[in-house]
Structure 1
Amino acid sequence: MFTTYEEAVSWIHSRLRLGVKPGLKRMEWMMEKLNHPDRRMKSVHIGGTNGKGSTVTYLRSILQEAGYAVGTFTSPYFEQFNERISLNGVPISDEEIVRLANDIYPLAVELEKTDLGGPTEFEIITAMAFQYFGNVNPVDIVLFEVGLGGRFDSTNIVLPILSIITNIGLDHTGILGDTHAAIAFEKAGIIKPGISIVTAVKQEEAINVIKEKAAEMKSPIYLLGEQMAIKAHHSTEKGEVFTLKSPYKEWDNLEISMAGKHQTENAALAVMAAEVLNKFYAFLIEDEHIYTGFQKAYWPGRFEIISLKPTIVIDGAHNEEGISALVSELNNRYKNNKISLIFTALADKKLDKMIMKLDAIADKITFVEFNYPRAAQAESLFDMSKNSNKTFNKDWKSAIEENISAQKEDEVLVITGSLYFLSEMKPYLMKLAVK
Structure 2
Amino acid sequence: MFTTYKEALDWIHARLRLGIKPGLKRMEWIMDRLGHPETKIKTVHIGGTNGKGSTVTYLRSILQEAGYTVGTFTSPYIEQFNERISVNGKPVTDQEILDLTNVILPLANELEETDLGGPTEFEVITAMSFYYFANNPEIDIVLYEVGLGGRFDSTNIVQPMASIITNIGLDHTNILGNTHEEIAFEKAGIIKEMTPIFTAVKHPGALKVIDEQAEKKEAPIYRLEQEFSIGAHESISKGEIFTLRTNGDILEKLEISMIGQHQTENAALAISTVLYLIQHASISVPEQAIRNGLKKAYWPGRFEVLSENPLVIIDGAHNDEGITALVHELSTRYANRNIYIIFAALKDKKLDKMIAKLDGIAAQISFVSFDFPRAANAEDLLKISQSANKFAVEDWQPYIKEEISHLPPNDLLVITGSLYFISEAKPIICQYLKNMTISL
TM-score over 0.5 (shorter chain): yes
SS in structure 2 at match of 1:332: helix
Give ranges in structure 1 of 5+ residues lacking alignment.
none
* Whole-Å separation in 1 of the counterparts to 2:432 and 2:235: 27
Q: How does 1:88-167 map to 2 (within 5 A)?
A: 88-137=88-137, 139-167=139-167
* Whole-Å separation in 2 of the counterparts to 1:241 and 1:125: 36
* Whole-Å separation in 1 of the counterparts to 2:93 and 2:406: 41
**Aligned residue type for 2:29:** W
After TM superposition, give the deviation of residue 431 of structure 1 in Å.
2.4
* Whole-Å separation in 2 of the counterparts to 1:381 and 1:399: 17
Partner of 1:278: 278
Partner of 1:23: 23
Q: How does 1:197-208 map to 2 (within 5 A)?
A: 197-208=197-208
SS in structure 1 at match of 2:349: coil
Question: Size of the alignment, in residue pairs?
Answer: 435
Q: Superposition RMSD on alpha carbons, in Å?
A: 0.9
**Aligned residue type for 2:33:** K
* Whole-Å separation in 1 of the counterparts to 2:267 and 2:62: 10
* Whole-Å separation in 1 of the counterparts to 2:389 and 2:402: 15
**Aligned residue type for 1:261:** Q
**Aligned residue type for 1:217:** K
After TM superposition, give the deviation of residue 137 of structure 1 in Å.
4.8
**Aligned residue type for 1:74:** T
**Aligned residue type for 1:366:** S
Question: Residues 308-353 of structure 1: CA distance to partner in whole angstroms, max 9, x if unpaired?
Answer: 2221111000011110110111111111111110001111111112
* Whole-Å separation in 1 of the counterparts to 2:260 and 2:83: 24
What percent identity do the matched residue pairs reach?
62
Question: Residues 329-387 of structure 1: CA distance to partner in whole angstroms, max 9, x if unpaired?
Answer: 11111111111100011111111121111111111111111111111111111111100
| Contact 1:238–1:305 (8 Å) recurs in 2 | no
Partner of 2:373: 373
**Aligned residue type for 2:189:** G
Q: How does 1:16-415 map to 2 (within 5 A)?
A: 16-137=16-137, 139-415=139-415
* Whole-Å separation in 1 of the counterparts to 2:413 and 2:97: 37
* Whole-Å separation in 1 of the counterparts to 2:97 and 2:137: 13
Instruction: Give the structure-2-normalised TM-score.
Output: 0.98
* Whole-Å separation in 2 of the counterparts to 1:370 and 1:210: 37
Moved over 6 A (4+): none
SS in structure 2 at match of 1:240: strand
| Contact 1:342–1:416 (8 Å) recurs in 2 | yes
SS in structure 1 at match of 2:156: helix
| Contact 1:348–1:374 (8 Å) recurs in 2 | yes
**Aligned residue type for 1:40:** K
* Whole-Å separation in 1 of the counterparts to 2:430 and 2:9: 26
* Whole-Å separation in 1 of the counterparts to 2:233 and 2:399: 36
After TM superposition, give the deviation of residue 51 of structure 1 in Å.
0.4
| Contact 1:41–1:138 (8 Å) recurs in 2 | no
SS in structure 1 at match of 2:86: strand
SS in structure 1 at match of 2:118: coil
* Whole-Å separation in 2 of the counterparts to 1:398 and 1:34: 47
